[in-house]
Amino acid sequence: MQVQGFSAAAAAAGIKYAGRPDLGLIFSAIPATAAGVFTTNRVKAAPVLLDRERLRAGQAQAILVNSGNANACTGAAGMAAAQTCSALTAQVLGIDEALVQVASTGVIGLPLPLAPFEQALPGLAKNLAPDRLREVARAMMTTDLVEKTASATVSIGGVPVRLAAMAKGSGMIRPDMATMLCFVLSDARIAPQTLDRLLHRAADESFNTITVDGDTSTNDTALVLANGLADNPRIDADNPEGVQVFGEALTRVCRDLALQIVADGEGASKLVHICVTGARTQAEARSAAQTIAESPLVKTAFFGADANWGRIIAALGRSNCGFRQDEVDIAFDKVLLVRKGQGLGPEAEQQATAVLQQKEFSVTVTLAEGRSSAEVHTCDLSFDYVKINADYRS
Amino acid sequence: MQVQGFSAAAAAAGIKYAGRPDLGLIFSAIPATAAGVFTTNRVKAAPVLLDRERLRAGQAQAILVNSGNANACTGAAGMAAAQTCSALTAQVLGIDEALVQVASTGVIGLPLPLAPFEQALPGLAKNLAPDRLREVARAMMTTDLVEKTASATVSIGGVPVRLAAMAKGSGMIRPDMATMLCFVLSDARIAPQTLDRLLHRAADESFNTITVDGDTSTNDTALVLANGLADNPRIDADNPEGVQVFGEALTRVCRDLALQIVADGEGASKLVHICVTGARTQAEARSAAQTIAESPLVKTAFFGADANWGRIIAALGRSNCGFRQDEVDIAFDKVLLVRKGQGLGPEAEQQATAVLQQKEFSVTVTLAEGRSSAEVHTCDLSFDYVKINADYRS
């Protein structure tokens, strides 16, 4: 988890709770090419609005992230607070304020207290070190039980290029363009437009394929900073091989983080891959997979290891996916349980139940309408999901 | 709960469990004008397909309903089983088979066993009595904790007309046209087309405004039988006052039953009315109310009596309703907690928390985009919802 030119630090600033890491800073020695994808929720937090505006220039040099407070629905005061935080960061780092990206996660609707930032930022700047990225990943956790990181090294024109990435997210996870917080750091030399395009594709194939509870956050943010210190042949439209290799690596680390988020979904005890094939269009396949993945009846059946395929087919039937009811097959991993819309009996069900007792498994729904398919990753709905969310603010 | 000409009986036929009432029969002394609304799920159970076809004639004389087995996703054998059940019913009652409506509720995908029907039906026919409608309401319960009935008497041209209605439903409740099982019996004399139109309107203003878990059933059925024995001036296009009075009564009993269903939602401890006003269109208002009402984060906050309005505004923001984020007010009953998109502080929150500790309350979201509004009724998401649905089939 190190990338040349990047350093990081974290602190317990007391934003919501005392003694719990809640503030992280990431710094690039030189300005980096930067891109971001943000929540499509109509309600957007102040840091999302600020970052999006600043990223038009395609550059960033620092990311300040806090947990404990989302700075969302905080009006003009919230926007002023986000700006103050970024100004303080620019000051302690001695860089242009426009190069600071800010990200917040936590409770919606409470004013962001500025004192913790004022007190903690000078120390954070002093403590910056290349091996502290993981500490930032921990500082941005809310209901997450584990920190989430991923990394990759690829060769661009014979030059090794490094990616290190981190994410947080456990509840209010139902991506639509981007979700949760994710920061990808790279030493790649890359054109801003290329980076932007590759990030959107990566988000679409990773964060946009997961769901914990169908709730889209107001603060979803995925940022990528590439400072060029690898000195690789520039990745741009004239370097299609570089675009492909870097794009795949970016998608891979985002996908890795996305699956870590679902596996650490609030209260989750199981990671389930819902795959729908044989649909007429990709949009229909996606709707089918998403509807199954979000059905509380399906998710509680996963929790209870109940091979209750009737709930899956009922969810399929209320999705926007067209199909003939007598042309539906359903399998749990390799166990075919439903053929042509009907159950295959007690023996198949017993085998399917064994699959559902695993920590991770697939549900494959095969239609006979076309050649489109989609996959969505979800988790089960457990007692702990209710416990966490009935108690979260108290 | 009596209507002239109607009699009923129920029995423990052993369809899934022994010794638990699971079969009900309703009989009208003469053929009744009949109408129905059915699930919009693409996957439809055999009885739904059979009933819908038969109702084209606008007449019915008997309803046979079973719990313990949905007879859904059972293929040609399932359709044959539904037909056999209706033929047996017609035989013991001595009526035309085309006048029998059948309804099933329970587990999806298991073959419907015919022996319990063969054994129980002769006794059911023998036991028919005017005061046994409530026994049918009990026999069709699955995860329901209480039976649900409603009744009304209205005057049509000076003649008293009676409505008695019953419903079942607790989980897999997210109506779209109709939901769950509901039977309305009346002695009104009414034109078939008028009855059909009034039932659709009643369903739209009752069952289509509730949600427990966002899951639409494969068996949703609402039937109304009106046998004309009240001898009122016929309710039809030439009797607008009759249409209005009867239509309002029909909507009232359906609404009464719909609220009983939500209050008895699986695991529910609270009944919550979500009202969205000031939207541009009714469809947008409905989308907003429905999205809030189905959000697991909102529903767990209700369970925890947490006035977490951030989750409400986040759900609003991912709905299909357009609005300006700084023009949103949110109130819990009469306690205004959010004004122009921002929280009103600890005192308002304390008062709102007290509201949330009640068994029943309203959440009113006021936008400033237009004059359209919509209301959706929901319940909280509790430990018991998970318990019921992780265990249901075992």
At B324-355, the pLDDT tens digits run 988 999 999 999 999 999 899 899 999 999 99
Tokens of residue B369, six digits: 């985009």
Assigned domain for A18 exists: yes
Nearest to A310 among B107, B308, B343 (CB): B107
Q: Are strands B221-226 and B181-186 parallel, antiparallel or unpaired?
A: parallel
Instruction: Give yes or no: residues B42 and B172 share one domain.
Output: yes
Residues A66 and A128 in one domain: yes
Rounded CA separation B263/B269 (Å) = 8
Of A238, A263, A288, which residue constitutes the final position of a domain?
A263
> Is the pLDDT confidence value at A211 over 80?
no
Do A184 and A58 lie in one domain? The reply is yes
Burial B164-193 (b: 16+ CB within 10 A, else e): bbbbbbbbbbbbebbbbbbbbbbbbbbbbe
Are B188 and B298 in a shared domain?
no
pLDDT at B97 over 90: yes
Q: How far is A131 from chain B (nearest CA, A)?
A: 36
User: Structure tokens of B392?
Assistant: 């249901």
Q: Is the pLDDT of residue A158 over 70?
A: yes
- Whether B216 is catalytic is no
A132 found inside a domain? yes
CA A104 to chain B, closest CA, distance in angstroms equals: 14
* B106 within domain boundaries: yes
A233 and A291 housed in the same domain: no
Residue of A nearest to B107 (CA): A310
Report the alpha-carbon distance of residue A328 to residue A340 in Å, rounded. Answer: 5
- pLDDT at position A393 is 60
Residues B49, B117 share a domain = yes
Strand bridging mode A59-66 / B335-339 = unpaired
Most A CBs within 10 A among B386, B392, B394, hence the mutation to make, goes to: B386
pLDDT at B233: 92
Helix locations, B304-373, DSSP H: 309-318, 346-356
Domain that holds residue A322: 271-391
Output the six-digit token pair for A317.
């039937």
Pick the closest to residue A182 from A201, A166, A203 (CA basis): A166
Please indicate, yes or no, whether residues A259 and A287 belong to a single structural domain of this protein.
no
**Residue A119 sits in the same domain as residue A54:** yes
Using the predicted structure, report yes or no on whether residue B358 has a pLDDT greater than 60.
yes
A78 lies in the same domain as A172: yes
End-of-domain residue from the set B263, B283, B301: B263
- CB–CB contact B304 A394 (8 Å): yes
Among candidate residues B237, B263, B289, the one where a domain is terminated: B263
Quick check: B250 and B190 in contact, CB under 8 A?
Answer: no
Q: Check pLDDT > 70 for residue A174.
A: no
Query: Residue B71: its chain A contacts at CB < 8 A?
Result: none
d(CA B148, CA A202): 51
DSSP string, B177-242: SB-SEEEEEE---B-HHHHHHHHHHHHHTTGGGB-SSSPPPS--EEEEEE--TT-PSPBSTT-HHH
Total count of domains within chain A: 2
Q: In this predicted structure, what is the pLDDT of residue B392?
A: 58
Tell me if A315 is assigned to some domain: yes
Confirm whether A1 is domain-assigned: no
CATH number at residue B316: 3.10.20.340
The span from the CA of A354 to the CA of A358, in Å, is 7
**A368 contacts B279 by C-beta, under 8 angstroms:** no
Q: How far apart are CA B307 and CA B285, in angstroms?
A: 22
What CA–CA distance (Å, rounded) separates A76 from A82? 10
Query: Across the interface, which of B72, B110, B318 has its CB nearest the CB of A41?
Result: B318
Q: How far is residue A139's CA from residue A11's CA, in Å, rounded to a whole number?
A: 7
Q: Is residue B293 part of a domain?
A: yes
For chains A and B, CB pairs below 8 A equal 211
Residues B351 and B215 in one domain: no
Instruction: Measure in Å the smallest separation between the Cα of B285 and chain A Cα atoms.
Output: 15
Give A-chain residues touching B46 at CB under 8 angstroms.
Answer: none
Predicted confidence at residue B172, as pLDDT, reads 65
A270-321 tens-digit pLDDT? 999 999 999 999 999 999 998 999 888 899 999 999 998 988 988 898 889 9
The predicted complex's ipTM stands at 0.72
- Does residue A64 contact residue A24 with C-beta atoms inside 8 Å? yes
Q: Do A135 and A281 lie in a common domain?
A: no
Burial A84-122 (b: 16+ CB within 10 A, else e): ebbebbbebbebeeebbbbbbbbbbbbebeeebbeebbe
**Is residue B1 one of the residues assigned to a domain?**
no
Q: From B288, B291, B260, select the one nearest B276 (Cα to Cα).
A: B288
Return d(Cα B20, Cα A185) in angstroms, integer. Answer: 63
The structure tokens 């001595």 sit at B94
Question: What confidence tens digit (pLDDT) does each residue in B227-285 have?
Answer: 899 999 999 999 999 999 999 999 888 888 888 888 888 888 999 999 999 999 999 99
Q: Which residues of A touch B40 (CB under 8 A)?
A: 318
Looking up residue B76, the CATH number of its domain turns out to be 3.60.70.12
pTM of the model: 0.78
Return the higher-pLDDT residue of B137 and B314: B137
Q: Which of B143, B179, B211, B364 is catalytic?
A: B179
What is residue B393's predicted lDDT score, i.e. its pLDDT? 60
In the numeric block, the tokens 């299909």 are attached to B320
**In percent, how much of chain A has pLDDT > 90?**
59
The phi, psi pair for B17, rounded to 5°, reads -115, 150
Among the listed residues A98, A97, A101, A92, the one whose alpha carbon sits nearest the alpha carbon of residue A120: A92
**Alpha-carbon gap, residue B88 to B97, rounded angstroms:** 9
Are the beta carbons of A6 and A30 closer than 8 angstroms? no
In this prediction, residue A130 has a pLDDT band, given cuts at 50, 70 and 90, of very high
Using a CB-CB cut-off of 8 Å, the residues of chain A touching B338 are 73, 109
Q: What is the pLDDT of residues B165-198, one digit of tens each?
A: 888 877 666 544 344 788 888 999 998 889 988 9
Q: Which of B124, B88, B83, B95 is nearest to B31 (CA)?
A: B95
> For chain B, what's the residue count?
394
Give tens-digit pLDDT for B25-70: 999 999 999 988 888 778 888 999 999 999 999 999 999 999 999 9
Query: In angstroms, rounded to a whole number, what is the distance separating the alpha carbons of residues B330 and B312?
Result: 9
pLDDT at residue A179 greater than cutoff 50 = no
Q: Which helix (H) or strand (E) holds B37?
A: strand B23-38
How much of chain B, in percent, has pLDDT values that exceed 90? 58
Cβ pair A108:B213 closer than 8 A: no
Same domain, A30 and A130: yes
* Residue B179, pLDDT score: 45
Residue reference for tokens 């242009």: A96
To test the contact with chain B by mutation, choose from A44, A300, A320 the residue with the greatest count of B C-beta atoms within 10 A, namely: A300
Q: C-alpha distances in angstroms, B153 versus A301, B27, B202, B297?
A: 43, 20, 16, 41
List the beta bridge partners of residue A273.
A362, A377
Which is nearest to B263 in space by CA: B150, B106, B387, B352?
Answer: B150
